[in-house]
Amino acid sequence: MENAFMMEHQTITHEYHLQGVTFRSIPGYHDFVQTLKTECKYRIPATPYGFYADWPDFTNQQLAILGALGISRRAPKGF
């Protein structure tokens, strides 16, 4: 499980309304809408013991197993 990741894609949309605006040059009441969209993408790496696990969280037995498997703290290429 050298390249296991959990992917998350989150979209947040906020819509703002402004109603009843008048202008001297344009008669009548006017409404305005503004939409703001934020898009976030997250990639969380996995370990043989699950997601969000980090080296200080492993027990000595788990570290021994990882050492026997040849897994080191070296980050994979591309990081």
Per the structure, the complete domain to which residue 28 belongs is given by 5-69
Q: In this predicted structure, what is the pLDDT of residue 75?
A: 52
For 13-19, the CB contacts below 8 A with 24+ separation are: 13/37, 13/38
Picking from 79, 5, 4, the residue whose alpha carbon sits closest to that of residue 42 is: 5
Percent of the chain at pLDDT exceeding 90: 33
pTM tops 0.85, yes or no: no
Residue 79 domain-assigned (yes or no)? no
Residue 48 domain-assigned (yes or no)? yes
**What's the number of domains the chain is made of?**
1
Residue 15 domain-assigned (yes or no)? yes
Residue 32 domain-assigned (yes or no)? yes
Q: What's phi and psi for 8, nearest 5 deg?
A: -135, 135
Residue 28 domain-assigned (yes or no)? yes
Q: For residue range 63-77, list pLDDT tens digits in order.
A: 888 788 776 655 555
Residue 9 domain-assigned (yes or no)? yes
Strand partners, 32: 18
